[in-house]
Chains A and B, each alone.
Chain A
Amino acid sequence: MAAIEVKDGNPLGAIRELLRSLMSRGVVGALLVPEETPSGKAVVHTLVRDPARLDVANPLAPVFGVNAARIVVKMCARQLARSPAEAAVAQVGAAVAASAGGAQAHDVGGASAPRDDQEKPAPEKQPAAPPTGLVLRPCEIRALVELVKLQQATLDPFLVIGVDCWGTYSVKDYAAKAEKCAQGASVTAEFLKQMAGGSLPADLRSACQACRRPAPTFADIAIQLIGEDVSRKITVRAQTEKGKAALAAAGLEESPENPERAAALEKLAAAKDQAAKEGQFNFLELIETLCINCHNCREVCPICYCRQCAFDGPVFAYTMDKYLTWSGKKGALSMPPDKLLFHLTRMSHVATSCVACGQCEAACPSGIPLGRIYRRISAAAQEALGYEAGRSLEDELPLATFRETELAVVES
C-alpha cells in the first residue's frame, strides 16, 4: 500500500495517517511532531506516544516557534553522557581489559572507547527499542546535522522524517491569522492554497523569505510537497537504508520519484531570490540602539551548544575595579559592556555552522534583523571555506580541517 494516499483533498489527513501507521505498527515508538495547541492558534513540537494524539499533528502548518534541533539535543544529552555510576563501571571495565595481558594496546593513551567485547557483559541485553520519529523542517535537519558533527546529538535512536517547507510565519503572526480565520477554514489550508497558486506571501518570516533550501538535505524518509498538487498526491521517498526498512516494516510503499520536482524547486528558489529583501543595515547603530544584551538570540540558536557561554564565564567576570578602570580609560563605558563583542564573537563561533533558520531574529525583543545579518555573515564565512552547513554528515567541520594551499587572499 502506498505510503500516502491523499483523500478528499486533505493532505494533512494523509500525513496523519502515515504517522499513525508508523506508530501503530511499532516502526517508531514515539514521534516528535508539530501539533496544534488546543486554542488552534499555535503549533508546538510535541513528543507523542499515543497514536490517537496524532489527530492534531500538523507538520504542514507554516509556523516555526523552536528549532527542533535544540529539542533533539536535549533528548540526546543523557544518551551521550552516562551517569557517574555508569561511568565508574565503564572505567573499571576498561581497566580490567587493559591489565588482561597480551596485546591489549588499545587502551594505552588511546582515544577509543572501550571495545564492546572487552567490557563486562551487560545484564540481560534488552531488545533494541524502536526509534523515535522526528518530523522536521529542512533547516531543523540542517542544524541537527551540524550538531551531530559537534557531538551534541546522535541520529542512532531516531528516524528522521523530513518535510518540505515553503516558509513560515512568526508565532505571533500565525496566532493572529488563526484568530481571524473563519470557521472551517485554517491557516494551513489557506497557505497550501496560496503555495499551489505559486505566490509567496509577503509576510513570511524574513529568514524564510530568503531561504533557498526548502527540501531536506538529509532524511530517512522524505515527505515531498514541492512540485506536487498536494490536494491529490504527496510523494514519500525513503532516502536511507533505515528509511527503506522503516517503510517496509510498516508495510508501506515508497512513491515513485516526481519528475517535476527539480523544476519546481528551481522555480521556488528563483521566487525567493526575488522576494528576498536583503537591504543595507548599519550593524553598529543597530546594536548600539536596539540591543539590550539579553542573549535571547543565543538561547534560541540551535548551534549555540556551549554548556555555559563564554560571556557567562570566567573571561568576562569583571571586578568592580575593572569596570572603574575601563570606564576611566574611555571616559564613559556603555553598560553592560560587551554587547558588540558578544555579537562579533558569537558570529565567529557559529558562522560556519549557521543554517540561517532565523530563530535569532524571531527571539530578539527589539526586532534587530539578526536573521538577515547572520544569513549574510554565515554565507560569507562558509563560502570562504568552501563549506555548506548542514549539507552532509560526511563534510568535515571547516575549522577542524584545512588545506595546505588555500585562502592566499587572507594573507596580507
Chain B
Amino acid sequence: MAEEFEPRVVAFLCNWCSYAGADLAGTSRMQYPPNVRIIRLMCSGGLDPMYVYRALLGGCDGVLIGGCHPGDCHYTNGNYKARRRVAVLKAILRELGLDDDRVWLRWISASEGSRFAETIREVVAHLKEKGPSQLARAWAV
C-alpha cells in the first residue's frame, strides 16, 4: 500500500510579522500539519529568489513566503520589493511550465496566528492534491 504523499514545504517568514504570526499560532496551540519547515528572515524584502529555486530543486514541493501586509512593513517597503521579485519568479516558472502555484506569497501579520495556521493547512492541502513537484524530482540540479 503506497504511503500517502506528504508534501515538503519550506516557509521563509519575516521576523516582525509572519514569523511572529507563526509564534502566535503556537502560543494559541493552533494545530496544523507538520509539513512545513520555517526559515527566519528579517524581512520578506531580504528574500533572494535563489532560495526559492534551491528549495524547489532540493526536494520541497512548495514554498511559502510570509511578509507584513503592504504598508505595514517594519522596514517600510521590503514587502513591496518582495512582491515584485516574487512576481518575476512566478512569471519565470510559469513560462517554463514549472507550476508557479507551488510558490505562495502571503501577508500574515504578527496578530494573525490563525491566518498562519490556516495558510499552512491550505498550502498542504493544495500540494497534496497537486502531487509531488517535478522540479523536486529533477535529475539535474
Contact = CB atoms under 8 A, between A and B. Distances in A.
A83 interface: no
A341 B50 contact: yes
Given A340-B141, A380-B94, A412-B105, A351 B88 contact: yes
Query: Chain A, interface size: which category?
Result: 35 or more
B105 A410 contact: yes
Contacts of A384: 87-88, 91
Nearest to B104: A412
Interface in B49-96: 49-50, 53-54, 57, 70-71, 77, 80-81, 83-92, 94-96
A384 B91 CA distance: 7
Interface string A172-192: 000000000000000000000
Contacts of B138: 284, 288, 340
Contacts of A340: 53, 57, 135, 138, 140-141
B84 A412 contact: no
A287 B140 contact: yes
A381 B96 contact: no
Contacts of A194: none
Contacts of B94: 380
A380 B81 contact: no
Interface stretch (A120-128, A246-254, A260-268, A397-405): A397-405
B109 to A, nearest CB: 14
A380 B53 contact: no
Contacts, number: 105
Nearest to B64: A412
The 8 closest A-B pairs by CB, nearest first: A402-B80, A412-B104, A380-B91, A348-B49, A283-B96, A288-B140, A344-B53, A381-B88
Interface of B: 49-50, 53-54, 57, 70-71, 77, 80-81, 83-92, 94-98, 104-107, 134-135, 138-141
Given A381-B87, A412-B105, 16 more contacts: A283-B98, A288-B139, A310-B50, A341-B53, A341-B141, A344-B53, A348-B85, A351-B92, A377-B91, A380-B91, A399-B84, A399-B85, A404-B80, A405-B70, A410-B87, A410-B90
20 contacts: A288-B138, A288-B140, A340-B57, A351-B92, A352-B88, A376-B95, A377-B91, A377-B92, A377-B96, A380-B94, A381-B91, A383-B91, A384-B91, A399-B84, A402-B77, A402-B80, A405-B70, A407-B87, A411-B106, A412-B105
